[in-house]
Chains A and B, each alone.
Chain A
């Protein structure tokens, strides 16, 4: 009954919204004029008050009475003081947690921000059990070099320079067969185009991997038995020889994306709830699996074994077959779950963000403050990504999710 009402409500609101008035031409100019007029009025009022009030008193901003949300993006998902008054009712997680590097010492590394002469960098992949791939960025935020960081010796060495012209993004880093592979995708003019590159893990010159036709990658690569597998941005899984050559389609995976090889998935185009990656396929055996999605559920996104979603306003996670469902009555940042078991919880104090392991129930403080930007990293990380890198004030916290047992 609830589910049916929820579905009807969703459809009703969607259809009704289409009856909304359209914005008039030049709306922006009219808004700017009003905004400036109001700013001038406020200034005049404040100036008049300053003259009139000789001592004491508080100037209240001449606003309409509704406090505007503070600009940081995460403000929209933070409950102010209400949570502290009544913890059980709060949207935010009220428990504390030890630092993530103490909870998972074998899988979490703190890398000093000044490691590479203070140049901006981000951990992008795991090369082997002691080496993390770092990508440095120029002033425009585009990748310009790759480094290997040894987590035991805490030393780094340069692998290669990378050239990313404006509009080109380097992504999909993966290591295998003694090399690091990645894709360079041009997204400048709307027509995406991808080239693949590689460099030996010992360092050297980056070389392009030629393909016999134009391709558009979605930023996910895997090294599989002497070939490089990639998925296309519009769906479809393909392989090419590591040295370049003919692009071959993986049978039965024409609309799929790589989650974690050999698992590829696609979204059910007929799903009313726009669930993502519910149809899973083993690209090696051809074995399909479909995730359970019930009517009324929304924002459902699946990994290889687990799905997260929302029903009745509460985030849930459960196995693909619908079993072992758990509700998370707290704010899961962006409703994401990584590597099938980790989800970032926003808390109501310090630490501010806890990475929680759904399998063991352990949680680790990521050492983030909502005032700065690293929460965006969590938002942008693909669901089956193995690495999380959170930039903190003077260090990076890098987590290899695959090493957490």
Chain B
């Protein structure tokens, strides 16, 4: 019972941050909510063990990153437990450069995007990213390098990015 209270505390405190992470990972609110819900369900099932290690957040974030690069979403089994607000998010980012980059990120293959997000949003080292995704550090570097290359050319030549990737 005490475990349930602590789980509820964790969700109350961290769900918004996890949704923000899910949003930059996936680029859209539906997948962000999906990833967060699925990761929290898995966290709940492992809760007694994870809580003892006092790392529920990094555990959840690791699950979210791994889910995102997997084919999990293609065979999703459960509907979201809540309704997202209707309509698109129309807020623009503060500058054209940021808006351009955000759009360009959408064209990156999922693994490249995930590595970029882990590096520049989560601020992990390549060695840490390798651990989170369970891949070699050289693979992390090559995803990062390819992803950055595409983003750079998209920013320099905004019109040529459409449809590429």
A interface residues with partner B (beta carbon < 8 Å): 1-2, 5-6, 8-24, 27-35, 38-39, 64-69, 71-73, 75-80, 82-83, 85-86, 88-92, 298-299, 310, 312-315, 329-332, 335, 346, 373, 376
Closest chain A residue, CB of each to CB of B40: A31
Q: CA–CA, A85 to B136, complex, Å? A: 9
Judge if B84 is at the interface, Cβ distance under 8 Å. Answer: yes
B97 CB → nearest A CB, Å: 6
- Is the C-beta of B119 less than 8 angstroms from some C-beta in chain A? yes
Do the beta carbons of A89 and B136 come within 8 Å of each other?
A: yes
Q: With contacts A20-B20, A21-B33 known, is A90 near B136, CB below 8 A? A: yes
- Chain B residues within an 8 Å CB radius of A373: 53
- Take A19-B23, A34-B81 as given contacts and tell me if A27 and B11 are in contact as well, using a CB distance cutoff of 8 Å: yes
B residues within 8 A CB of A315? 125, 127
Residues in A whose Cβ lies below 8 Å from that of B23: 16-17, 19-21
CB neighbours of A1 from chain B (8 A): 152
The total of chain B residues at the interface (CB under 8 A) is 85
Contacts of B82 in A (CB 8 A): 24, 27, 30
Residues of B within 8 A of A8 (CB): 97-98, 101, 155
Question: Cβ of A17 and Cβ of B134 under 8 Å apart?
Answer: no
- Measured in the bound complex, the distance between the Cα atoms of B78 and A281 in whole Å is 57
> Across the interface, do A76 and B132 meet the contact criterion of CB distance under 8 Å?
yes
- Chain A residue nearest in CB terms to B33: A21
Bound CA span A12–B139, Å? 24
State whether A23 touches B16 (Cβ < 8 A): yes
| Residues 108-150 of chain B, each 1 if its beta carbon lies under 8 Å from chain A, else 0 | 0000000011011101111111111011111111001000100
Of the residues B19, B55, B98, B130, contact of A73 by C-beta under 8 Å: B55
CB contact under 8 A between A78 and B148, given known A28-B11, A91-B126: no
CA gap between A6 and B70 in the complex, in Å: 26
Q: Are B44 and A35 in contact (CB under 8 A)?
A: yes
8 A Cβ contacts from B67-113 to A = 67, 70-72, 75, 77-78, 81-82, 84-85, 89, 91, 93-94, 97-98, 101-102, 105
Taking A13-B121, A30-B82, A79-B130 as contacts, is the C-beta distance between A5 and B155 under 8 angstroms? Answer: yes
Decide: A76 and B93 in contact? CB cutoff 8 A: no
The answer for the CA separation of A332 and B141 in the assembled complex, in Å, is 17
- CB within 8 Å for A28 and B136 given contacts A66-B66, A71-B46, A313-B141: no
Q: Does B157 contact A (CB under 8 A)?
A: no
Give chain B's interface residues, CB within 8 Å of chain A: 4, 7-8, 10-12, 15-16, 19-24, 29, 32-33, 36-38, 40-42, 44-46, 49-50, 52-55, 58-59, 62-63, 66-67, 70-72, 75, 77-78, 81-82, 84-85, 89, 91, 93-94, 97-98, 101-102, 105, 116-117, 119-121, 123-132, 134-141, 144, 148, 151-152, 155
Is the Cβ of A16 less than 8 Å from the Cβ of B72?
no
Taking CB atoms, residues of chain A closer than 8 Å to B101 are: 8-9, 12
Closest 6 CB pairs of A and B: A89-B138, A20-B23, A23-B15, A313-B126, A91-B130, A91-B127
A65 CB to nearest B CB, Å: 6
Q: How far is the CB of B54 from chain A (nearest CB, A)?
A: 7
User: Which A residues are CB-close (under 8 A) to B55?
Assistant: 71-73, 76
Docked CA distance A65–B102 (Å): 29
B72–A19 touching, CB < 8 Å: no
CB-based nearest B residue for A92: B127
Whether the pair A68, B7 counts as a contact (CB closer than 8 A) is no
Cβ-defined contact, A29 with B8, below 8 A: yes
Given contacts A82-B136, A89-B139, 16 further A-B contacts (CB under 8 A): A9-B151, A11-B94, A17-B24, A19-B29, A20-B32, A23-B36, A27-B82, A28-B11, A29-B8, A34-B81, A66-B70, A71-B49, A71-B59, A76-B58, A79-B134, A315-B125
The answer for the CA separation of A110 and B85 in the assembled complex, in Å, is: 60
Q: CA separation between A40 and B121, bound complex, in Å?
A: 37
Q: Are the C-beta atoms of A66 and B63 separated by less than 8 Å? A: yes
Given the known interface contacts A16-B93, A21-B29, the answer about A69 and B41 at a Cβ–Cβ threshold of 8 Å is no
A1 to B155, CA, bound (A): 12
Tell me the bound Cα distance from A313 to B126 in angstroms. 5
